[in-house]
Each structure stands twice: as C-alpha cells, then as structure tokens.
Amino acid sequence: MRSLNMDKLVIEGGVALKGEVSISGAKNSALPILAATLMTDDACIIKGIPELRDTETMFKILRTLGKNVEFDRGIATVTSGRRKSHIADYELVSKMRASFCVLGPLLAKLKKAKVSYPGGCVIGIRPVDLHIKGLKALGADIDIDAGYISASADSLKGNLIYLGGVFGSSVLATDNVMMAAVLARGKTTIESAACEPEVADLAEFLIKMGAEISGHGTPVIEIEGVKHLHGAEHRIIPDRIEAGTFILASLITRGDITIKNVLSQHLGALIDKVQEAGVQVRRMDSSLRVSCRRQIKPVNITTLPFPGFPTDMQAQFTSLMSVTPGISVVTEKIYPDRFMHVAELNRMGANIQREGPHAIISGNKDLSGAVVMASDLRASASLVLAGLIAKGKTTVTRIYHLERGYENMEKKLEELGARIKKDKE
C-alpha cells in the first residue's frame, strides 16, 4: 500500500495524451462491499479492489472488528478471527466517510454497534440523519454521545422506509439500511433509494451471500429478510468516476485515449455533456475512445443523483470549462459548498465566479502553471487536469487526497505521455 508521506505532483503541461488506459475497480463499490463481509462468519473473496488509501483504511477497520484480511494484486480475502468487536474506532472512521457503512452490518450481525461520526473530504455538510432514520425504522435504539453513534436491537423488523433527503437520495444511507434489512424479520421496502451503480453492485454481492433483494438500481428496493448469510466471491464494477476523469483528461489536452474496462451505461450523463460540447465518444464492448482535435463548446451542467450528472465529476468538468472559450455555468445540487477547487483554478488563470451553488465560468484558452493545494479528492483530480494543459510547471500539493480515490493516477497519465512525476513535499 501507499505510504503516508506528504507527496506532491509536478506537471509540465502542454502534452496531448495518447494511448490506452485501464480503469480500476470502483472505490465506492469496494468500501461497502468490504463492510458487508462483517455479516457472515464465512470467507469472502472480493476481486478488483483498487490499491488506495481508503481501501487500506477499510482493511484496518475490518481487522479491528475481528476480521482477518489478506490483500494481493487486487484480491481481498476476508475471514473471521476469534474475537469480534462492535466498536468502530474514531481514529480510523474519522479518516473517511464511507467507513460509516459498517454501522448497518454490525447492527444486523451482532445486534449492537458503536461507530464514530465519519470523516473524509471537506466538501460541505453531509449529515447522517437518513442513516439513523432508516435504522430506527427497522427497530434499532440509537444514542448519540461523545462523537459516537450507538445502535442496538434485540431483533430488527422489516418496514416501509422513505430515504429521501434535502438533496435527494443518499448512497451510504441506502447501503447501511439495505444491509441491516437483509437480516431483519419480514419485508423491507426502501423508497427514494439511491440508484447509483455502486448500490446495485453491493446488492448483487449481498444476493450472492444469500440475501433476497429486488429493485436495486431503481428508487424502490425490496428486501425479504433472511436468517443468515454465507460467504461469496465477487468482482466489483469498474470505477465510473476514474473513467470520467480520463475522458476529460483526453478532452482538456486535445488527446486521443482509449479507456478500457469501463461500463458506458454508468457514464450516460457525462457522455451526453461531452457530445453536447461537440465531441463524439466511440463506445465499444468494454471500452471507450475519446478523441478531440478541435475546440469544444461551452456547456452547462447541474449535478444530480444517478442517473444525473455526478457530483464527483463536477470539479473535473469545471477545469475543462475553464479552458473552453465562452460562458458556462456549473450548478451543484448535491453538495452546494463543493467549490474548494475554484480558488486554486483561479490562481492558475481561470476566470470563475462563485454565486451560491453556482460557478459561472468565463473560459480562457490558457492557464498558467502554479503551486496549488488539493483540498479534497475530486478537487485534486481537477487540479491535475488543469496542470496537464497549463503553460509551464504546476505543482499539486497534499496529493494524499488524490491517493484516497485514484489508483496510480500519475503512472497511468505518464503512460499516456504526460510529463508528470511525484516528489516529496
């Protein structure tokens, strides 16, 4: 796994990227699927796991909860140890928000759970009220004290649960409630469930473990509770956000990239916007070719839950529009404060004005290299994309954010021709 040293990326811009790149497994599938292994005493084998800071953190969490985890070349083998714990420690859970999805599995399996409030990227307020609402509806007693959420239940009982929030459905809340409901008595119906492919991937893994789930991938998920789950083997889906980032890397550098191991049906909203900008995306069986030889047109985007434009692609698209002549507007409806990258892009010569949940971009043809600081995972990627096209040298600091969600990004870019290297800060 990657070291915890403070590293930086140094990029010499101006190279059109060319060649092939293979997409890693989806981080946002891997983390809840790993958490789901807590629900069985049998061995589970998960394939296609990316080597990231976040997956390493989840391995550590599982070990503290009594699991044995072996990881080699993208394959994690999870087995049960002698001692089980229901307490997910603050030091680990505070490192990433997705670790909160151990709450549902622990409650379902051990009838009790104590999980610290989650941490992760600073991209705005992300409450856990929907998680609590859903678990309470299943019969859990929940207390909040000293930064921990404690849940207990002699038995969970299926229920009709509405999980819509202020900004739409919640992926992690859907994951947590779905996992808990799998071992509840009777039928659970989750309305306004998240439709993201990663939620459906988790459901497919749970089904392999013996769960009875239908409707995953739609706003209504139905679960018939079962008494126990067994071990299973599963390969997680490709990371649609990594694939989308490389699509935009091709566009911003006027490159020609073939992106392999990708499911194009997971990228419909992004591909639609790329085509609206005047670029054709060639779809093949499990790959995409994105070639851009001319100036693209400015387009507006609004982030929405899947199948809408993903919030996790907003920062990268903002970088692309900042070098696209004309006016474009980015509207963030999932996390209205998710604009930490704007100030750093403006330091590179972009002309972006923030007005509430909107970013108004006056596109320039050129950016200039600068020293910029990554504030969160996707902001990191946006600054790397800007550095690929900027004149001169760009230094992106605090790239541990980037390493939370992109496997070997600098190496993949280097193989496409980018002049990029990692140095110590």
| In a shared domain, residues 90 and 228 | yes
Residue 403 located in a structural domain: yes
Phi, psi of 151 (to 5 degrees): -125, 140
| In a shared domain, residues 165 and 244 | no
Q: Which of 101, 121, 195, 292 is catalytic?
A: 121
User: Where residue 362 sits, what CATH number does that domain have?
Assistant: 3.65.10.10
Question: Per residue in 311-334, pLDDT tens?
Answer: 999 999 999 999 999 999 999 999
| In a shared domain, residues 186 and 167 | yes
User: Which is nearest to 200 in space by CA: 182, 219, 226?
Assistant: 219
* Final residue of a structural domain among 202, 235, 268: 235
Parts of the chain with a pLDDT under 50: 1-4, 120-125
Amino acid at 98: A
Q: Cβ distance 380 to 396 under 8 Å? A: yes
Whether 121 is catalytic is yes
* Final residue of a structural domain among 188, 206, 235: 235
Residue 32, token pair as written in the block? 């809840």
Q: How far is CA 26 from CA 209, 266, 314, in A?
A: 20, 12, 18
| In a shared domain, residues 63 and 150 | yes
Measured over all CA atoms, what is the biggest interatomic distance in the chain, rounded to whole angstroms? 63
| In a shared domain, residues 65 and 182 | yes
pLDDT at res. 276: 97
pLDDT at res. 395: 97
| In a shared domain, residues 291 and 168 | no
Helix boundaries (H) for 16-170: 27-36, 53-64, 90-93, 103-110, 129-137
| Domain of 358, in residue numbers | 7-22+238-424
* Final residue of a structural domain among 210, 235, 260: 235
Residue 198 located in a structural domain: yes
Residue 140 located in a structural domain: yes
pLDDT at res. 121: 45
Host H or E run for residue 424: strand 419-424
| In a shared domain, residues 208 and 251 | no
| In a shared domain, residues 66 and 213 | yes
User: Which is nearest to 193 in space by CA: 183, 202, 205, 184?
Assistant: 202
Residue 1 located in a structural domain: no
| In a shared domain, residues 194 and 277 | no
Residue 58 located in a structural domain: yes
Question: Per residue in 163-208, pLDDT tens?
Answer: 998 877 899 999 999 999 999 999 999 999 999 999 999 999 999 9
Residue 320 located in a structural domain: yes
Question: Per residue in 369-416, pLDDT tens?
Answer: 999 998 888 999 999 999 999 999 999 999 998 998 999 999 999 999
Residue 379 located in a structural domain: yes
In the DSSP assignment, the letter for residue 275 is H
| In a shared domain, residues 74 and 117 | yes
Q: How many residues does the chain have?
A: 425
| In a shared domain, residues 208 and 246 | no
Our count of domains for the chain comes to 2
- What is the distance between the alpha carbons of residues 103 and 89, in angstroms, rounded to a whole number? 12
pLDDT at res. 1: 44
Residue 2 located in a structural domain: no
Phi, psi of 281 (to 5 degrees): -110, 120
| In a shared domain, residues 137 and 184 | yes
- What is the distance between the alpha carbons of residues 222 and 107, in angstroms, rounded to a whole number? 19
